[in-house]
C-alpha cells in the first residue's frame, strides 16, 4: 500500500512540508495551522464505494483510509460515529423545507461530535508512542478525550474553564482524567494548557492547532454523504466555536469530491451565538478576526479567540455558504423545538445550528425547495440546567384523579 499522504500545507503562507510529526508551520508559528494533503489517486486504488459497502465496521473507523493514521485494528477503540441521519418528520414541514435531515451526533460514546476528533487523537498519540494526552476545552473535547483515552489506557491531563457544566465535569472525573479547573475564561485555560504541554511534552489534543483533529471531525460529513447515498444536500448547517468542526465538515466533502464520490460540496452554514460571534463579525469585515466576548449559554461554542480561523472561514467561502448568528433565546427555543418535533435532545451549542436553520428558512436565505442537513453536535443531557431553563418545570399534582384534572395538565390532550 502506498503512503496515501503527500505532506502538509500551511493554511497561512502556503508552504508545504513532508509528512512527519509536527503541529504548526515553522514559518508562521502557532497561527500557521496545517492542512493534511492526501494522494487521492493512490487512495482510490483501494478505497472505493464498493469497499466501503463491503465493510462491516459501521463506526467512523470505516473511513480510516482517509485519516492520517497507519493501518491497524481499530476494534479496541471506542465505537465512535455511525450516528443516525434522521429525515425530519415534522420540523422540515413546519419550516416549509422540502427536505430536512438531522444528524444526531449526541449519540456518540461520550455524547458529542468531539469523539470523532478524540478517537483519532488517541490513535495518533499511541502511534507516536505517547503515554499522556492533554487538552484544554470548554467541556466536550475534554470529556471525549478522557473517555477515548481511558478505553486505550492513556493518561489524560485536562484543563477546563471554571464555568464548564457539571455533566461534563462528571464525565471527566469518571473517566479518571487529571482535571485542572482553571480560574479564568477559555483563553486563559488554553494558554495554561499550552505552557504545560510545552514543558512536560504530552501529546497535544488542542483542536485548534493540531491538524489531525479536522481529519477526525470530517467523518461526520463522510457519513452524511454516505447515508444520503452520495447525493449531497444543498446546505449543511453546523454550530461554530473554535472552527475545527466546520473545517472538518468542509474537508470531508472536499475529500469525497476529489475521490469522485460526490459531484459538489454543499453550501456550509456556520452558526454562532450573538453573545460570541467572532466569525460572523470577521466575515462582515472581509475575514479579519478580532477577539469577541464570551457571553452565551452555549458554552461549547463560547470561544472568543478561535484557534482555527482560516479553515473555518475557508469552509464557508469555498462552499459559497453563509455565516449567521442567533440569540441565546433562539437557541433555547431550538432546544425545545428539536425535542418536541423530532425527539432529538441537544445541548445549547448542539442545537445552535438548528436555530440557524430555523432563522435561515424564515429569512429566505435557505429556500423551500432546498435540501438541508443540520448537525446536532452534542447531547442535552450534558447540560441539564439549560435544558430546564428552556423547557420549564413539570406540573405538581396531589396523588388523586380530581387533583390531576384540576392541575391543567390534561388541557389540550383530551
Ligand X SMILES: *Cc1c(COP(=O)(O)O)cnc(C)c1O
Sites of contact with Zn ion (CB under 5 A): 10, 12-13, 15, 25, 27-28, 32
* Nearest approach, Cβ of residue 187 and ligand X (Å): 14
Binding partner of residue 223 among ligand X, Zn ion, none, CB cut-off 5 to 8 Å per kind: none
Residue nearer to ligand X on the CB measure, 212 or 349: 349
Grid cell locating 255: 475529500
The angle subtended at Cα 132 by Cα 137 and Cα 204, nearest 5°, is 45
* Footprint on this chain of ligand X (rule: CB under 6 A): 112, 114, 140, 207, 239-246, 300-301, 347, 349-350, 377-378
402: which residues sit within 8 A by CB, 6+ positions away? none
Task: Judge contact between 115 and 108, C-beta under 8 A.
Answer: yes
* Nearest approach, Cβ of residue 392 and ligand X (Å): 23
Binding partner of residue 13 among Zn ion, ligand X, none, CB cut-off 5 to 8 Å per kind: Zn ion
* Nearest approach, Cβ of residue 117 and ligand X (Å): 8
Q: Distance (Å, rounded) from C-alpha 3 to C-alpha 70?
A: 9
* Nearest approach, Cβ of residue 358 and ligand X (Å): 17
Q: Residue 128 in 3-state DSSP?
A: coil
Residue nearer to ligand X on the CB measure, 43 or 80: 80
Binding partner of residue 316 among Zn ion, ligand X, none, CB cut-off 5 to 8 Å per kind: none
Q: What are phi and psi of 76, to 5 degrees?
A: -75, -15
Tally DSSP H helices, then E strands, for the chain: 16, 13
Residue nearer to ligand X on the CB measure, 83 or 239: 239
* Nearest approach, Cβ of residue 6 and Zn ion (Å): 17
Binding partner of residue 390 among ligand X, Zn ion, none, CB cut-off 5 to 8 Å per kind: none
Binding partner of residue 245 among ligand X, Zn ion, none, CB cut-off 5 to 8 Å per kind: ligand X
Q: Residue 386 in 3-state DSSP?
A: helix
* Nearest approach, Cβ of residue 332 and Zn ion (Å): 41
| Nearest-CB residue for ligand X | 378
R_g (Cα) of the chain, nearest Å: 21
Binding partner of residue 25 among Zn ion, ligand X, none, CB cut-off 5 to 8 Å per kind: Zn ion
Strand order in the sheet with 155-161: 178-182, 155-161, 132-136, 203-204
281-289, long-range: CB < 8 A, 24+ apart: 282/309, 282/313, 283/313, 283/316, 283/323, 287/313
Amino acid at each position: 500500500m502506498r503512503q496515501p499522504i503527500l505532506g502538509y500545507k500551511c493554511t497561512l503562507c502556503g508552504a508545504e512540508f513532508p509528512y512527519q510529526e509536527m503541529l504548526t508551520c515553522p514559518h508562521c508559528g502557532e497561527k500557521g495551522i496545517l492542512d493534511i494533503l492526501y494522494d487521492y489517486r493512490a487512495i482510490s486504488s483501494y478505497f472505493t464505494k464498493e469497499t466501503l459497502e463491503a465493510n462491516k465496521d459501521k463506526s467512523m473507523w470505516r473511513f480510516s483510509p482517509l485519516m492520517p493514521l497507519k493501518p491497524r485494528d481499530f476494534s479496541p477503540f471506542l465505537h465512535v460515529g455511525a450516528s443516525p441521519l434522521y429525515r425530519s418528520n415534522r420540523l422540515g414541514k413546519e419550516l416549509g423545507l422540502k427536505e430536512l435531515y438531522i444528524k444526531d451526533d449526541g449519540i456518540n460514546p461520550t455524547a458529542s461530535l468531539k469523539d470523532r476528533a478524540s478517537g483519532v487523537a488517541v490513535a495518533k498519540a499511541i502511534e507516536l508512542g505517547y503515554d499522556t494526552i492533554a487538552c484544554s476545552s470548554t467541556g466536550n473535547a475534554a470529556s471525549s478525550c478522557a473517555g477515548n483515552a481511558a478505553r486505550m489506557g492513556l493518561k489524560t491531563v485536562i484543563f477546563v474553564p471554571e464555568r464548564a457544566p457539571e455533566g461534563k465535569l462528571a464525565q471527566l472525573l469518571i473517566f479518571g482524567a487529571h482535571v485542572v479547573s482553571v480560574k479564568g475564561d477559555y483563553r486563559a485555560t488554553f494558554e495554561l494548557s499550552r505552557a504545560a504541554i510545552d514543558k512536560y511534552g504530552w501529546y497535544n489534543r488542542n483542536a485548534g492547532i493540531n491538524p489531525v483533529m479536522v481529519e477526525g471531525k470530517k467523518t461526520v460529513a463522510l457519513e452524511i454523504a454516505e447515508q444520503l447515498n452520495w447525493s449531497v444536500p444543498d446546505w449543511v448547517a453546523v454550530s461554530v466555536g473554535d472552527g475545527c468542526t466546520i473545517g472538518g465538515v468542509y474537508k470531508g466533502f472536499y475529500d469525497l469530491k476529489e475521490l469522485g464520490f460526490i459531484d459538489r460540496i454543499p453550501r456550509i452554514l456556520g452558526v454562532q451565538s450573538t453573545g460570541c460571534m467572532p466569525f460572523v463579525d470577521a466575515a462582515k469585515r472581509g475575514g479579519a478576526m478580532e477577539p469577541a466576548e464570551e457571553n452565551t449559554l452555549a458554552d461549547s461554542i463560547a470561544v472568543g479567540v478561535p484557534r482555527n480561523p482560516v479553515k473555518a472561514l475557508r469552509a464557508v467561502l469555498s462552499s459559497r455558504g453563509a455565516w449567521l448568528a442567533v440569540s441565546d433565546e433562539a437557541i433555547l427555543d431550538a432546544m425545545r423545538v428539536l425535542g418536541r418535533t423530532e425527539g432529538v435532545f441537544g445541548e445549547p451549542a448542539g442545537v445552535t445550528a438548528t436555530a440557524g436553520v430555523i432563522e435561515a428558512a424564515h429569512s429566505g436565505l435557505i429556500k423551500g425547495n432546498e435540501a438541508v442537513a443540520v448537525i446536532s453536535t452534542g447531547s442535552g443531557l450534558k447540560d441539564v440546567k439549560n435544558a430546564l431553563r428552556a423547557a420549564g418545570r413539570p406540573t405538581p399534582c396531589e396523588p388523586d384523579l380530581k387533583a390531576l384534572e384540576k392541575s391543567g395538565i390534561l388541557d389540550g390532550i383530551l
